């Protein structure tokens, strides 16, 4: 098998037929696991945010991402949440809201399933036609090469020696080599070659190499390369927050806030800074009356992207308590960011748990309060997927007053 046919076979091997592709995407939507250490209320909150995110993907035409998130929502609340040991503690109100949301999502997901199968079928048919054209182009290229080879052999074959004759007739010179001849169809081979290179498959679909490991709830895809969506932070966020926290900072008391926003074109855009009722000390901060945050987010279709807090006298880092606080955010959405503002050192840093070690390590740690952790490998790192948008401003909602 020549190299071109080998390439074609590789493409065939990694492309799924429509039914198999739909089954694989459905399996991705079913990849939900319950962590009994995360309160069920957190799952119910994330479930609403999951639907908000799916609705945005649907409106933007990203059908596959929308379908996966809808499927995760249904899998979580039709099956998995009932296995949580504290399921009976969920309030009747939260269950009622969830049931209503399930009734809304079920027909949407069913309709999406049909649309995706139609989309996959069209893409697969287009792929097969492209492959057929590519193979026909390769056959035509080989035929022309063989034809040129025969012509070249005919003109370059040895000429039998002839005895000179007494006549004065001139000997006809041997025609030049093939490269210098001009045949009417000389450009066919190059044209076909050009078409072949332009017929690369653009609708090959998902590959067999994608992992089946359960992903975070608010992540629509199972990304084995840990590629995170960009989190866009307004340029004035840190300065605005430090002004709000100034009175506490002067008293050596930490202040915290919740980063909320919306999904826009596969980017997580922080639009709101929610400052809840809280109790702070020199090295900790605890939120209170969280239902006020939830109500505001529900009224404004906001999603939680992380949190922000001050270190009044210390440098910017994540303490053991901070690591556990952030773990609950990042277990729900992999892009969750923890912003630490250290005004004494003029340092504002964006952090996240390392996805390949720190996240699971902290999730499995049962210690509370301030306690030591192994620092190798790294438990957290700079959140490089977070970018600041100098032209954007944050809307502040201070619920303390």
pLDDT at 167: 46
pLDDT at 145: 82
Whole-prediction pTM: 0.74
DSSP structure string for 268-335: EEEEEEEE-EEEE-SS-EEEE-HHHHHHHHHHTT-EEEEEEEE-SSS-S---HHHHHHHHHHHHH-TT
Positions in the chain whose pLDDT score sits under 50: 1, 4-13, 166-214, 222-225
User: For residue 267, what are the contacts with CB-CB under 8 A and spacing of at least 6?
Assistant: 229, 230, 231, 232
Give the tens place of pLDDT for each residue, 120-179. Answer: 999 899 888 888 888 888 888 888 888 887 777 776 655 555 555 544 444 334 333 333
Tokens of 278: 């809280």
CA distances from 318 to 284, 311, 335, 347 (A): 11, 10, 17, 13
The residues facing 257 across adjacent strands are: 308
Tokens of 124: 């697969």
pLDDT at 324: 94
Give the tens place of pLDDT for each residue, 333-352. Answer: 999 999 999 999 999 999 99
Half-sphere exposure of 4 (CA within 13 A, CB side): 14
CA distances from 125 to 16, 48, 132 (A): 12, 37, 11
Q: Is 121 exposed, middle or buried (0-12, 13-18, 19+ CB in 10 A)?
A: middle
């Amino acid at each position: 098998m020549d190299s071109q046919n080998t390439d074609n076979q590789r493409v065939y091997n990694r492309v799924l037929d429509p039914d198999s592709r739909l089954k694989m995407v459905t399996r991705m939507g079913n990849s939900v696991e319950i962590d009994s250490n995360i309160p069920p209320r957190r799952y119910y909150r994330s479930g609403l945010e999951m639907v908000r995110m799916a609705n945005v993907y649907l409106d933007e035409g990203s059908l596959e991402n929308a379908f996966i998130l809808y499927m995760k929502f249904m899998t979580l609340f039709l099956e998995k949440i009932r296995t949580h040991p504290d399921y009976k503690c969920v309030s009747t109100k939260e269950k009622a809201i969830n049931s209503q949301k399930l009734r809304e999502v079920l027909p949407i997901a069913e309709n999406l399933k049909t649309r995706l199968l139609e989309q996959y079928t069209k893409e697969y048919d287009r792929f097969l036609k492209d492959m057929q054209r590519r193979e026909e182009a390769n056959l035509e290229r080989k035929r022309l090469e063989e034809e040129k080879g025969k012509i070249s052999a005919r003109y370059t074959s040895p000429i039998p020696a002839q005895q000179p004759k007494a006549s004065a007739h001139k000997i006809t010179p041997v025609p030049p080599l093939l490269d210098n001849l001009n045949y009417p169809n000389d450009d066919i081979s190059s044209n076909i070659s050009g078409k072949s290179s332009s017929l690369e498959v653009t609708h090959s679909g998902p590959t067999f190499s994608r992992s089946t490991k359960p992903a975070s709830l608010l992540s629509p895809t199972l990304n084995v390369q840990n590629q995170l969506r960009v989190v866009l932070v307004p340029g004035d966020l840190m300065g605005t927050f430090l002004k709000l926290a100034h009175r506490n900072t002067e008293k050596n008391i930490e202040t915290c806030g919740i980063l909320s926003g919306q999904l826009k074109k596969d980017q997580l855009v922080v639009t709101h800074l929610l400052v809840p009722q809280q109790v702070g000390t020199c090295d900790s901060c605890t939120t209170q009356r969280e239902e006020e945050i939830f109500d505001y987010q529900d009224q404004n279709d906001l999603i939680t992207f992380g949190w922000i807090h001050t270190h009044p006298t210390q440098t910017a880092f994540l303490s053991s308590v901070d690591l556990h606080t952030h773990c609950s955010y990042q277990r729900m959405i992999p892009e969750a960011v923890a912003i630490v503002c250290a005004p004494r050192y003029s340092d504002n840093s964006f952090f996240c748990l390392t996805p390949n070690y720190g996240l699971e390590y902290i999730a499995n740690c049962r210690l509370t309060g301030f306690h030591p952790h192994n620092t190798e490998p790294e438990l957290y790192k700079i959140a490089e997927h977070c970018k600041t948008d100098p032209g954007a401003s944050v809307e502040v909602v201070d619920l303390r007053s």
